Amino acid sequence: MPLDGVKNIVLVLSGKGGVGKSSVTLQLALALSLQGKSVGILDIDLTGPSIPRLVGLEDAKITQSPGGWLPVPVHDAVTTQSDSASSSSASPQPRGSLRCMSLGFLLRDRGDAVIWRGPKKTAMIRQFLSDVSWGVTDYLLIDTPPGTSDEHIALAEQLLTLSTTDAAAAAQGNLPHLTGAVLVTTPQAVATSDVRKEANFCVKTSIPVLGVIENMAGYACPCCGEVSNLFSSGGGEVMAQQLSIPFLGRVPVDVKFGELVEGNMEAGSDDEDEYEDMTGQDKPAEALAEPDTRPLVEKYKEGWSYPRFEEFARTIIGGVQATTGAQQ
Ligand SMILES: Nc1ncnc2c1ncn2[C@@H]1O[C@H](COP(=O)(O)OP(=O)(O)OP(=O)(O)O)[C@@H](O)[C@H]1O
Ligand SMILES: [Mg+2]
């Protein structure tokens, strides 16, 4: 059965490009995993899939199993204290696994532009939703392209046939629970008016809105995390109030998070050799420091953005527990 084993589905939407949907999807996924949940990310941005880059796995390949495509593992679960003791890179607290699936893994060359007409896009989205063997997954987060395009309509139609927004019916019928959508905006009025369209889209498709996240609201100091430059924040909250939808909170620009995901891209580069070639000298001590090989999730946990996303993850989990009565 498609989506077999998936318990909850959360969409990440925004009317505008570049507001941080993919970053929010990834951070929510990491935070849910750190709450002990097994998480999957499905990147259905067919023209600009960015999840492989953000998780530093651009060269990963999808494998087939009898049950369908196998998602690419980002990190494994850590279930017990003894698990964590056995690996120096593991978290001291239980954490769930994270796996992801993206068209980016299927493209031969990452630079390949995919220009597809509507029917082919629709078919690809159907295939992504039905042919991936997720296994037991507490939360499947779906990263979407900007706007309310063909992809969104195909996604909503398909999701509403494969899952249900009714938590009780989901539990009874052993179907995934279409928990709802997180709407991402930036503080600027233009972006928020675009996200209104996304809220309307949810109303029309009867997908519940879990809440609004206002991304890039202010700037977090890389040294102390203090948030400044708040002159341009608040738009998302006002919009949420006007639309009577929950406001999940603000996320400032976090340069360290940017470096963390950009750093992922450079993993495996041979900068060290280049340094010596260019200067003819030994590298300074700092540059010679051992590379940090811990999984992304462990490094993320130390950043300024994690406490915010931890709260968002708890809010989502709390909402699910309240509607299902289950420990999901
Ligand atoms: N809060 C943040 N702090 C620092 N950098 C951020 C933050 N949010 C997003 N970014 C950076 O901004 C860029 C755009 O973000 P992202 O790719 O998540 O946007 P998107 O809405 O998914 O874009 P697209 O519409 O192209 O899919 C990325 O390089 C990302 O790392
Ligand atoms: Mg994106």
One-character DSSP codes across 221-279: -TTT--EE-GGG--HHHHHHHHHT--EEEEEEEEHHHHHHHHHHHHTT--HHHHHHHHH
Whether 264 lines ligand 1, by a CB cut-off of 6 Å, is: no
Q: Which DSSP state fits 17?
A: T
Domain 6-324 sits in which CATH superfamily? Answer: P-loop containing nucleotide triphosphate hydrolases (3.40.50.300)
Task: Dump pLDDT digits (tens) for 9-18.
Answer: 999 998 888 8
Residue ranges covered by each domain of the chain: 6-324
CA angle 187, 188, 193 (to 5 degrees): 100
- pLDDT of 276 higher than 50: no
- Kindly report which listed range (22-26, 70-74, 282-286) carries the lowest average pLDDT score: 282-286
What confidence category does residue 113 fall into, taking pLDDT thresholds of 50, 70 and 90? low
Handedness of CA 121, 124, 130, 134 (dihedral sign): negative
Residue 235 Cα to ligand 1 midpoint, Å, equals: 18
Whether 319 lines ligand 1, by a CB cut-off of 6 Å, is: no
19 carries a ligand binding annotation: yes
- pLDDT for position 274: 43
- pLDDT for position 248: 95
Q: Kindly state the tokens that stand for 130.
A: 């039905």
Ligand found nearest the CA of 255:
1
- Kindly report which listed range (5-9, 43-47, 107-111, 144-148) carries the lowest average pLDDT score: 107-111
Whether 146 lines ligand 1, by a CB cut-off of 6 Å, is: yes
- pLDDT of 208 higher than 80: yes
Share of the chain above pLDDT 90, in %: 48
Share of the chain above pLDDT 70, in %: 83
From the alpha carbon of 16, which atom of ligand 1 is closest? 25
- pLDDT for position 229: 74
Ligand found nearest the CA of 17:
1
- Kindly report which listed range (82-96, 137-151, 241-255, 302-316) carries the lowest average pLDDT score: 82-96
CA distance 157 to 177: 15
- Kindly report which listed range (39-43, 179-183, 240-244) carries the lowest average pLDDT score: 240-244
- pLDDT for position 284: 59
Whether 26 lines ligand 1, by a CB cut-off of 6 Å, is: no
256 carries a ligand binding annotation: no
* Section 99-127 average pLDDT: 79
CA distance 312 to 314: 5
186-225 burial by CB neighbour count: b if 16+ within 10 A, else e? bbeeebbebbeebbebbeebebbbbbbbbbbbbbbeeeee
Whose tokens are 């029309």? That residue is: 204
Residue 87 Cα to ligand 2 midpoint, Å, equals: 33
- pLDDT of 277 higher than 50: no
234 carries a ligand binding annotation: no
The answer to whether residues 260 and 267 touch, using CB atoms and an 8 Å cutoff, is no
244 C-beta neighbours (distance < 10 Å), count: 8
130 carries a ligand binding annotation: no
- pLDDT for position 268: 42
- pLDDT for position 103: 87
Residue 51 Cα to ligand 2 midpoint, Å, equals: 8
Strand 63-65 vs strand 68-70: parallel, antiparallel, or unpaired? Answer: antiparallel
- pLDDT of 146 higher than 90: no
- pLDDT of 319 higher than 60: yes
CA distance 8 to 110: 30
- pLDDT of 191 higher than 90: no
What confidence category does residue 272 fall into, taking pLDDT thresholds of 50, 70 and 90? very low
- pLDDT for position 273: 43
Whether 257 lines ligand 1, by a CB cut-off of 6 Å, is: yes
Closest of 302, 312, 319, 249 to residue 35, by C-alpha = 312
Residue 25 Cα to ligand 2 midpoint, Å, equals: 9
* Section 62-90 average pLDDT: 77
What confidence category does residue 197 fall into, taking pLDDT thresholds of 50, 70 and 90? confident
Task: Dump pLDDT digits (tens) for 221-240.
Answer: 888 888 887 666 677 888 88
From the alpha carbon of 305, which atom of ligand 1 is closest? 1
- pLDDT of 95 higher than 90: yes
100 carries a ligand binding annotation: no
Higher-pLDDT residue of 54 and 280 is 54
- pLDDT for position 211: 94
Whether 265 lines ligand 1, by a CB cut-off of 6 Å, is: no
Quote the mean pLDDT of the chain: 84
- pLDDT of 265 higher than 60: no
The answer to whether residues 311 and 249 touch, using CB atoms and an 8 Å cutoff, is yes
- pLDDT for position 254: 92
Ligand found nearest the CA of 215:
1
Ligand found nearest the CA of 214:
1
